[in-house]
């Protein structure tokens, strides 16, 4: 029997979805083509940096998932944000040109010119999942008709999630006052709960939009597991929360956070998510949606934790595709090196800051230092603590930039942007500038070694924080981590696991590198063993194999099992 | 090689002083030195050395091209230098002279000087400390080697400190303003004894604007080291740091170089006045020799291990010059210096329109301006509306830099607008030496462009009011006195028997006993004294109070102050300063001519005004309940003083920042003439569901921008007699009226003591409505969740109008639907507006006026102030001679108030500025 894998966050049909745009509903993709691998870009892109190219490759299409024996995963719906249609910067220019074919320029124009709403995009993609299910290519899990996930299936089982609250917005993209309720359903027989909801029940209220979406999902025998409140851009027409800066390749100011924490509308959405009920044959049934803290700014995350305290402690907090900063908030504040005020074209003042990177460990003869990515999009120790104590789950991303890997010649993801309000919140007094890090030396370890090590260091830090800051014991801590690849989400994946079909290679790499990383991590950071030892004091390989298997599959399966039972 | 020179007491003092500065900035200098080293190794661009992005942006702007090109150009300087810069530097070198001072026993010292006006030179104070020394000093020009190293004949001129002498000592004295800058300006005889003229040597203009150089760039010093032939330093000449007053650089200098101007090689502009070298010292403070041992008595300057040099920044010298006074006898020379430094535009000797208090013009002078060919250029900003053809918009994005000469920056006006039509608006910066309205005309002529307008300084409506009127204590009258005095006696004499004072006097509320008249405005808007929510049911009140913390009220004004009346009422975590571009919206009192502090304080007091421990206590904020503030006010500073709006973009940006930051209600108590960008931001607010409450305007008759736009809520003013305030702007654009004449507001008296006085303005009517808007939004927050953003604004407008108290005293359709009735408003539930009720649904887009008419309107709008202040000396930096097109537009508005014979006799015509402005305002 093939080994099974679990992925807490991936986009299996996203890249196929963005090859076409249909002004009518449902979209025109055929089920056959949805499964196929894609590579965006022709000869022009071959001239560009390789890292850039990896973002445009398919990483988790259905064919690849089949080869991976990914038996269970959470598919994230993520409508293309208007940010991506900006022609600012090289990446923006390429995305909005024929150089990145077969990416649909019609889609990009529709998004840029506001010919569709984010909600309209969302239900188009949802419809494709529905078609795949109806054609028996995948299974979609729902609490409406829960199944026992321990019983194996020959199909990939997917749970649905929404990445970015902008997907709840039902006015035309970039316009706050024009409802998207004129879409033609063609043929009329294709009308379903999603299109009915879109056309007949317009609401400008995102909380209400979420309620209606969940009801429509249930009516179509689907379900929403978690909601990522923000994504990569500031959504002016429906601001739910401040996002964390995470997209430096697009030189558009929408990528830069400008507000502070969760907005009033955002709190409404969180409250609605936690208290969701659906109508099933005239009876109401609870169908709460978990909030995923990924992409939320640090202050937004704090706002969420404060909000749920006392009232919603029973609902876990998760992070579906995380990296870690390696810092507690106070240590992160201490590590601030430079901060300067930047004025955007909009007039907004934001802070560009550089934070020293926490050393995860050292390995190798030269250029041996491994560091975490200190951007606030990554989890602080307090985040890890909250998630673990809430009985939540952390999916560790396979995006090497998030994991802390960086080019040998660069200092990696250094400067990030934070809204003025949040900077003010965390640094009421300006910090003096600290000395900058010395320039990195030139040479190896190779990417093949550094990428999995970076991944391991992120895992280990989560465990370490759990040991230090929570009452969860070591074996249980290892059960609260899984993979959250973010495949097909324009990420730069681990070199050893460029797409989901290479999960087995990642597993092998974890077995090889976790002991090495653990030793290096403890040497740098101290603390008790994070991997079980045998009587000879060596890492217990039997336990390690089981533990890695848990990370690769069992933990996620257990979480979904719990979710289905609630 | 020049001989060693002894170290004098002055040079030792200056060296020690410069060393202190050096060590203070050592960390910064080390950082720059490291950057320079990396730059030399090709690892870092020059523009990456500085960490001052503002300075970098200013420097790039001087290149007069798009940022990326400017970066390339600046960074390319290490290896390539435009010959034009060298020509400029050579021209400058002509103006540099050797200063030779003599005493009874011959030459006592050398220095370097440089002409900065046709007959005034600059040098150091430690070279020419006083008029007596100047009298004993001559300036020698052309003291340099010519071709084949032949010595040129120097031309010598005597100095004339009797005509002009202005100095700042080299030692700083805390009791002497602008001391320690170590400069002297002294007149030079225009013709020497031999008949030689000073004219051929020209002069150097000192540009006080910043951005002439950045750290790591090269400096050039033209000098007479130790009195030697004129030299220029071209090697090892990097700028190490810039501070507020001085800069430190590597360039080699020697005694005698004192008084040399330091030029930035990248721009060819003077950046500093050299005044001292910096010695290396040991920890004990001893100066060190080059061999590392302490300096010994008798050692000359050539033995010292010099670390670098220090110069006084040109901007500081210009500031000192502007503020230091000189005797009346020297005023002519001072005027010539000013003229020389501002020779960009030559004002025509025969103004085409002769402006007098009655706007009378010579009849036949519509011949266009006389504009010189200036050597200096300046940065102007323009708002541009692109063609609605996508192809033309795309082409503009690709080619703007080629289409617009001198284009420095091109950015969307509202990058994240929620109104697609506004995405065509751009905001561009152009470096040009041309008339900005002519540049606008050229840009507007491009097929890519629909309209183009320069963004120039303008007065607010408040700034336009008549200060000479003493009969009514208006907002403007308070301002023009700089302070105010208690005026309750006058108030009572005028209003004690009038409607709302009489009503107030009936109150038995203990908090206002004996001073009821100060609260008349509360009665006029039907607001229970002490508790604006008193007339709500408890559930409604609880609901309102539960929602209120989620809402934001932003005030766009002159900023906040610590006046006791408003202290503690602000949210200072979210404030914003669009002028200084930072996060502290503190009201910085405008200096110089404009003594108008505190407008923002007064317009805030009617929202958050609290207890005021003074005999003048009274009135209070509408967001104060039983003495407790129920919502903070977020101050945004959009204007340096209440009378001038610097650039319209600053208002646009402030409103945009507020909206993107989550504002629910904005209010603005000043305004200006209509511009496309203000039209745009009012529409933006509307579509984002932000209620923007705006003052209709004071004393100008017309409803001003942004109040006149459909998206905003316009407020006119009434008085304690429930009559319209006759100075209030009025018109069909007005939505509502509220108390504005003689409202009790905070101020300071002539001793800066906090007081309250009665003042007038639609500025005071506006906060009443803004407060009401916030309370209404909180009261109906749950219902409004189902509304599209624009519907929230429109529903509020409809509730506001339908709940208004009808007032027969108000002219129909001029003061809105009536007077604000707060209690009734808070009990008026929203009704979902239909699409046809969208404020912009049934109106054609506002057609931009012709460029000439726009220029004329700008001109007259700003002129209104001078019309009533004929002796005023202030001027706006944006003032230019009118273009021909504007004059032609004006000609169409000539008043037929004189008979042809009378016109012929007087040779003057009167332009009907009111008609012109009405046309421009479309009212």
Q: Pick the residue of A177, A182, A209, A239 with the most B CBs within 10 A to test the interface with B by mutation.
A: A177
Chain A interface, best mutation among B35, B48, B54, B416, by max A CB count within 10 A: B416
Q: Name residue, tokens 């506004």.
A: B422
Which residues in B lie closer than 8 A to residue A114 (C-beta atoms)? Answer: 420
Residue B910 pairs in a beta bridge with B360
Residue A342 to residue B689, Cβ atoms within 8 A = no
Q: What are phi and psi of B291, to 5 degrees?
A: -85, 5
Residues 633-662 on B with a CB inside 8 Å of A are 649, 652-654, 656-657, 660-662
Note whether A263 contacts B: Cβ–Cβ < 8 A.
Answer: yes
User: Is the Cβ pair B654, A347 closer than 8 Å?
Assistant: yes
Residues of chain A contacting residue B573, judged by C-beta atoms under 8 Å apart: 421, 424-425
Residue A89 touches chain B, beta carbons under 8 Å: no
Q: Is A522 on the interface with B (CB under 8 A)?
A: no
Query: Across chain A, what does the average pLDDT equal?
Result: 86
Q: How far is the C-alpha of B409 from the C-alpha of B401, rounded, in Å?
A: 9
Two tokens, residue A562: 């719990």
User: In chain A, which residue's Cα lies nearest the Cα of B654?
Assistant: A347
Of B397, B411, B574, the CB nearest to A421: B574
Q: Which pairing describes strands A70-77 and A156-163: parallel, antiparallel, or unpaired? A: parallel
Touching check for B199 and chain A: CB below 8 Å?
Answer: no
Distance in Å, alpha carbon of A344 to nearest chain B alpha carbon: 9
Residue linked to tokens 């230092």:
A369
Does residue B233 sit at the A interface (CB-CB below 8 Å)?
Answer: no
DSSP-assigned letters across all residues of B652-663: HHHHHHHHHTT-
Q: Is A171 within 8 Å of chain B by CB?
A: yes
Residue B39 CA, chain-centre distance (Å), reads 36
pLDDT surpassing 80 at residue A506: yes
Q: Quick: pLDDT tens for A431-465.
A: 333 232 222 222 234 555 677 888 999 999 999 99
Of A87, A177, A208, the CB nearest to B687: A177
Q: Which of A184, A246, A240 minimizes the C-alpha distance to A399?
A: A246
- Whether the pLDDT of residue A40 is over 80: the answer is no
Contact A207 B785 (CB under 8 A): yes
* Radius of gyration for the alpha carbons in chain A, expressed in angstroms and rounded: 22
Residue of A174, A205, A347 with shortest CB distance to B653: A347
Residues of B in contact with A424 (CB under 8 A): 573, 583
Contact at CB, A254 and B416, closer than 8 angstroms:
yes
**How far out from the chain centre does Cα B162 lie?**
37
Q: Do A260 and B661 touch (CB under 8 A)?
A: yes
Residue B298: partners with Cβ closer than 8 Å, 6 or more residues away: none
In chain B, the residue whose alpha carbon lies closest to the alpha carbon of A428 is B573
Write down the pTM of the prediction: 0.72
Nearest to A348 among B660, B687, B790 (CB): B660
pLDDT at B121: 94
Rounded (10°) angle between helices B599-608 and B762-779: 40
Using the beta-carbon criterion (under 8 Å), do A205 and B790 form an inter-chain contact? no
Q: Considering CB atoms only, which of B51, B657, B787 is closest to A346?
A: B657
Report the residue from B582, B654, B789 with minimal CB separation from A177: B789
3-state secondary structure of B463: helix
In B95-155, alpha helices (H) = 131-135
β-pair partners for A279? A284
DSSP β-bridge partners for residue B184? B123, B167
The token duo for A377 is: 């999009």
Mean pLDDT, 10 residues at a time, chain B of 923 residues: 63 82 79 76 73 74 66 61 79 90 79 91 92 92 80 86 91 84 92 83 81 81 86 79 80 71 84 86 82 80 81 87 83 82 38 31 32 54 94 90 89 92 93 89 95 86 48 44 78 96 94 93 96 96 96 94 89 86 72 52 94 82 95 90 72 93 94 91 97 92 92 97 94 96 87 85 96 98 96 98 95 94 98 96 77 88 54 41 85 68 55 82 81
What CA–CA distance (Å, rounded) separates A542 from A528? 19
Minimal Cβ distance to A176: which of B51, B418, B660:
B418
With a CB cutoff of 8 Å and minimum separation 6, the contacts of A554 are A6, A479
Supply B450's token pair: 């629909």
Q: Do A349 and B583 touch (CB under 8 A)?
A: yes
Residues of B in contact with A87 (CB under 8 A): 397
Cα(B819)–Cα(B737) distance, integer angstroms: 5
| Cβ contacts of B551 on chain A, cutoff 8 Å | 264
- Assess contact for B418 and B688: CB atoms under 8 A: yes
What is the separation of C-alpha A182 from the centre of its chain, rounded to a whole number of angstroms? 32
**Residue to substitute from A345, A438, A442, interface B, most B β-carbons within 10 A:** A345
Angle at B635 between CA B478 and CA B541, to 5 degrees: 105
Q: Are A349 and B415 in contact (CB < 8 Å)?
A: no
Is any Cβ of chain A less than 8 angstroms from the Cβ of B56?
A: no
Q: Residue A162: in which H helix or E strand, if any?
A: strand A156-163
Nearest CA in chain A to B417: A174
- Compute the distance between CA of residue B739 and CA of residue B768 in angstroms, rounded to an integer: 8
Is-contact B343 B317, C-beta < 8 A? no
Residue A500 distance to chain B (closest CA, Å): 36
* Cβ–Cβ below 8 Å for A260 and B415: no
From the CA of A408, how many Å to the nearest CA of chain B?
Answer: 15
Closest residue by Cα to residue B361 from B725, B863, B793: B863
Alpha-carbon gap, residue A422 to A400, rounded angstroms: 26
Q: CA B242, B246, B248, B254: dihedral to nearest 10 degrees? A: 160
Judge: A236–B838 Cβ closer than 8 Å, yes or no.
no
Residue A89 has a pLDDT of 67
Distance of CA B94 to the CA centre of its chain: 35
A 415-434 → B contacts, CB under 8 A: 420-421, 424-425
Class of residue B348 by CB neighbours under 10 A (exposed 0-12, middle 13-18, buried 19+): middle
State how far residue B222 is from chain A, nearest Cα, in angstroms: 36
- Taking the Cβ of residue B416 and every Cβ of chain A, the question of whether any pair is shorter than 8 Å is answered with yes
The pLDDT of residue A446: 52
Number of CB atoms found within 10 A of residue B294's CB:
13
Contact A260 B418 (CB under 8 A): no
- Nearest by CB: B786 against A205, A252, A424: A205
Q: Do A347 and B412 touch (CB under 8 A)?
A: no
| A343–B contact, CB cutoff 8 A | yes
d(CA A406, CA A413): 7
Contact flag B573-A424 (C-beta cutoff 8 Å): yes
Output the pLDDT for position B267.
Answer: 80
Asked if A400 reaches chain B (Cβ–Cβ under 8 Å), the answer is no
Is the CB of B414 inside 8 Å of chain A's CB atoms? Answer: yes
CB B87 within 8 A of CB B375: no
Q: Quick check: B693 and B665 in contact, CB under 8 A? A: yes
Q: For residue B92, give both structure tokens.
A: 């400058």
Taking the C-alpha atoms of residue B553 and residue B335, their distance in angstroms, rounded to an integer, is: 48
Residue A460's closest CA among A376, A530, A398, A527?
Answer: A530
pLDDT of A195 strictly over 50: yes
**Beta-carbon separation of A345 and B415 below 8 A:** yes
Residues B467, B738 contacting (CB under 8 angstroms) = no
Distance from chain centroid for Cα B655: 17
How many angstroms away from the CA of A144 is the closest CA of chain B? 29
Residues of chain B with C-beta less than 8 angstroms from the C-beta of A88: none
- The tens digit of pLDDT for each residue in A51-88 reads 555 666 667 777 777 776 788 999 999 999 999 888 77
- N-to-C CA span, chain A: 30
């Amino acid at each position: 029997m093939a080994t099974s894998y679990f992925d807490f966050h991936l986009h299996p049909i996203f890249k196929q979805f963005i090859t076409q745009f249909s002004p009518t509903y449902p979209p025109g993709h055929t089920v056959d083509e949805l499964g196929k691998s894609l590579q965006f870009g022709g000869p022009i892109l071959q001239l560009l940096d390789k890292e850039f190219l990896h973002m445009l490759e398919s990483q988790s299409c259905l064919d690849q998932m089949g080869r991976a024996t990914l038996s269970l995963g959470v598919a994230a719906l993520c409508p293309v944000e208007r940010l991506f249609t900006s022609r600012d910067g090289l990446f923006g220019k390429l995305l909005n040109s024929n150089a990145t074919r077969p990416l649909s320029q019609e889609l990009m124009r529709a998004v840029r010119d506001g010919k569709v709403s984010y909600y309209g995009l969302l239900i188009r993609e949802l419809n494709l999942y529905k078609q795949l299910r109806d054609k028996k290519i995948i299974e979609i899990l729902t609490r409406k008709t829960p199944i026992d996930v321990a019983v194996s299936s020959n199909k990939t089982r997917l749970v649905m999630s929404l990445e970015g609250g902008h997907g709840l917005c039902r006015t035309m993209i970039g316009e706050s006052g024009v409802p998207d309720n004129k879409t033609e359903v063609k043929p009329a027989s294709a009308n379903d709960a999603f299109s009915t909801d879109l056309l007949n029940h317009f609401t400008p209220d995102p909380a209400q939009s979420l309620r209606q979406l969940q009801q429509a999902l249930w009516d179509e025998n689907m379900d929403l597991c978690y909601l990522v409140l923000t994504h990569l851009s500031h959504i002016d027409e429906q601001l739910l929360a401040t996002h964390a800066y995470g997209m430096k390749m697009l030189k558009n100011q929408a990528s830069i956070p400008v507000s502070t924490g969760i907005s009033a509308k955002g709190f409404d959405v969180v409250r609605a998510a936690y208290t969701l009920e659906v109508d099933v044959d005239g009876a109401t049934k609870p169908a709460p949606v978990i909030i995923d803290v990924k992409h939320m700014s640090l202050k937004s995350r704090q706002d969420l934790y404060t909000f749920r305290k006392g009232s919603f402690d029973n609902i876990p907090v998760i992070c579906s595709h995380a990296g870690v900063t390696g810092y507690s908030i106070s240590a992160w504040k201490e590590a601030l090196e430079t901060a300067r005020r930047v004025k955007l074209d909009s007039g907004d003042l934001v802070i560009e800051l550089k934070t020293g990177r926490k050393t995860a460990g050292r390995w190798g003869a030269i250029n041996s230092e491994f560091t975490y990515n200190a951007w606030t999009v990554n989890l602080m120790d307090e985040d890890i603590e909250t998630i673990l104590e809430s009985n939540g789950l952390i999916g560790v991303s396979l995006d090497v930039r998030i994991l802390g890997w960086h080019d040998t010649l660069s200092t990696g993801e250094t400067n990030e942007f934070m809204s003025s309000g949040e900077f003010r919140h965390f640094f009421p007094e300006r910090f003096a500038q600290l000395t900058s890090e010395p320039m990195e030396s030139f040479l190896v370890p190779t990417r093949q070694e550094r990428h999995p090590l970076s991944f391991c260091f992120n895992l280990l830090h989560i465990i370490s924080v759990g040991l230090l800051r929570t009452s969860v014991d070591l074996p249980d801590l290892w059960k609260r981590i899984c993979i959250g690849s973010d495949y097909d989400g324009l990420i730069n994946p681990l070199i050893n696991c460029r797409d989901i079909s290479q999960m087995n290679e990642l597993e092998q790499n974890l077995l090889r590198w976790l002991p090495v990383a653990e030793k290096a991590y403890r040497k740098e950071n101290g603390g008790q063993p994070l991997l079980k030892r045998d009587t000879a004091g060596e890492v217990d390989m039997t336990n390690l194999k089981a533990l890695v298997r848990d990370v690769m599959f069992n933990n996620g399966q257990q979480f979904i099992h719990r979710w289905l039972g609630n | 090689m020049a001989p060693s020179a002894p170290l004098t007491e002055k040079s030792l003092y200056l060296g020690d002083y410069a060393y202190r500065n050096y060590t203070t900035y050592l960390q910064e200098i080390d950082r720059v030195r490291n950057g320079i080293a990396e730059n030399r190794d090709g690892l870092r661009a020059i523009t990456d050395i500085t960490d001052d992005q503002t300075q970098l942006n200013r420097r790039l702007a001087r290149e007069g091209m798009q940022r990326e090109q400017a970066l390339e150009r600046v960074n390319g300087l290490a290896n390539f230098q435009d010959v034009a810069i060298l020509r400029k530097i050579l021209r400058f070198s002509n103006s540099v002279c050797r200063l030779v001072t003599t005493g009874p026993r011959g030459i006592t010292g050398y220095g370097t000087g440089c002409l900065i006006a046709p007959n005034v030179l600059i040098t150091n104070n430690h070279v020419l400390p006083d008029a007596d020394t100047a009298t004993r000093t001559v300036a020698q020009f052309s003291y340099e080697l010519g071709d084949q190293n032949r010595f040129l004949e120097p031309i010598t001129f005597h100095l004339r400190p009797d005509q002009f002498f202005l100095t700042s000592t080299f030692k700083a004295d805390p009791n002497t303003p602008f001391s320690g800058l170590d400069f002297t300006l002294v007149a030079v005889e225009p013709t020497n004894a031999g008949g030689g003229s000073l004219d051929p040597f020209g002069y150097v203009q000192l540009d006080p604007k910043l951005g002439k150089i950045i750290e790591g760039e090269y400096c050039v010093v033209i000098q007479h080291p130790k009195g030697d032939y004129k030299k220029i330093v071209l090697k090892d000449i990097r700028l190490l740091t810039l501070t507020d007053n001085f800069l430190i650089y590597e360039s080699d200098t020697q005694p005698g170089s004192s008084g040399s101007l330091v030029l930035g090689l990248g721009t060819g502009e003077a950046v500093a006045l050299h005044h001292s070298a910096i010695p290396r010292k040991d920890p004990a403070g001893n100066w060190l020799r080059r061999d590392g041992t302490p300096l010994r008595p008798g050692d000359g300057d050539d033995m010292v291990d010099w670390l670098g040099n220090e110069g006084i920044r040109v901007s500081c010298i210009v500031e000192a010059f502007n503020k230091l006074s000189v005797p009346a006898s020297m005023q002519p020379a001072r005027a010539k210096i000013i003229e020389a430094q501002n020779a960009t535009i030559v004002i025509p000797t025969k103004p085409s329109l002769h402006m007098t208090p009655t706007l009378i013009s010579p009849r036949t002078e519509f011949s266009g301006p006389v504009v010189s060919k200036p050597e200096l250029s300046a940065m102007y900003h323009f708002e541009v509306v692109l063609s609605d053809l996508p192809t033309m918009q795309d082409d503009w994005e690709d080619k703007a830099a080629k289409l617009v000469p001198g284009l420095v920056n091109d950015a969307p006006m509202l990058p994240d607008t929620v109104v697609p039509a506004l995405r065509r608006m751009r905001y561009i910066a152009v470096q040009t030496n041309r008339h900005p309205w002519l540049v606008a005309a050229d840009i507007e002529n491009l097929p890519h462009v629909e309209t183009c307008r320069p963004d120039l300084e303008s007065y607010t409506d408040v700034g336009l009011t008549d200060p000479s009127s003493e009969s009514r204590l208006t907002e403007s009258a308070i301002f023009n006195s700089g302070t105010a005095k208690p005026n309750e006696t006058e108030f009572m004499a005028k209003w004690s028997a009038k409607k709302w004072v009489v009503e107030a006097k009936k109150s038995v509320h203990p908090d206002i006993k004996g001073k009821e008249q100060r609260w008349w405005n509360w009665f006029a808007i039907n607001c229970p004294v002490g508790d604006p929510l008193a007339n709500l049911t408890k559930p409604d009140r609880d609901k309102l109070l539960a929602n209120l913390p989620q809402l934001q009220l932003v005030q766009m004004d002159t900023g906040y102050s610590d006046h006791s009346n408003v202290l503690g009422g602000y949210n200072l975590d979210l404030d914003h300063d669009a002028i200084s571009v930072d996060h502290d919206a503190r009201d910085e009192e405008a200096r110089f001519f404009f003594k108008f502090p505190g407008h923002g304080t007064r317009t805030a007091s009617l929202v958050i005004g609290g207890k005021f421990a003074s005999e003048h206590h009274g009135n209070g904020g509408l967001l104060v309940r039983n003495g407790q503030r129920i919502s903070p006010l977020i101050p945004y500073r959009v204007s340096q003083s209440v009378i001038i709006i610097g650039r319209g973009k600053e208002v646009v940006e402030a409103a945009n920042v507020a909206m993107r930051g989550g504002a629910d209600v904005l209010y603005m108590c000043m305004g200006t003439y209509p511009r496309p960008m203000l039209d745009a931001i009012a529409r933006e607010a509307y579509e984002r569901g932000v209620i923007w409450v705006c003052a209709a305007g004071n004393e100008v008759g017309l409803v001003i921008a942004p109040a006149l736009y459909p998206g905003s809520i316009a407020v006119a003013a009434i008085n304690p007699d429930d009559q319209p305030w006759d100075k209030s702007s009025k018109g069909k654009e007005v939505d509502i009226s509220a108390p504005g004449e003689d409202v009790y507001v905070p101020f300071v008296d002539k001793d800066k003591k906090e007081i309250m006085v009665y003042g007038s303005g639609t500025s005071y009517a506006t906060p009443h409505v803004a407060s009401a808007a916030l309370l209404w939004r909180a009261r109906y927050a749950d219902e409004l969740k189902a509304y599209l953003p624009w519907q929230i604004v429109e529903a509020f407008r409809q509730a506001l109008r339908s709940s208004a108290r009808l007032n027969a005293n108000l002219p129909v359709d001029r003061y809105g639907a009536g007077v604000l009735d707060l209690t009734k408003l808070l009990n008026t539930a929203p009704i979902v507006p239909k699409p046809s009720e969208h404020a912009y649904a049934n109106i054609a887009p506002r057609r931009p006026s012709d460029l000439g008419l726009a220029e004329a309107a700008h001109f007259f709008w700003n002129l209104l102030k001078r019309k009533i202040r004929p002796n005023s000396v202030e001027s706006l930096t944006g003032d230019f001679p009118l273009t021909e097109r504007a004059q032609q537009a004006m000609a169409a508005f000539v008043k037929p108030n004189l008979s042809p014979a009378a016109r012929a006799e007087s040779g003057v015509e009167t332009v009907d500025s009111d008609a012109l402005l009405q046309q421009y305002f479309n009212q």
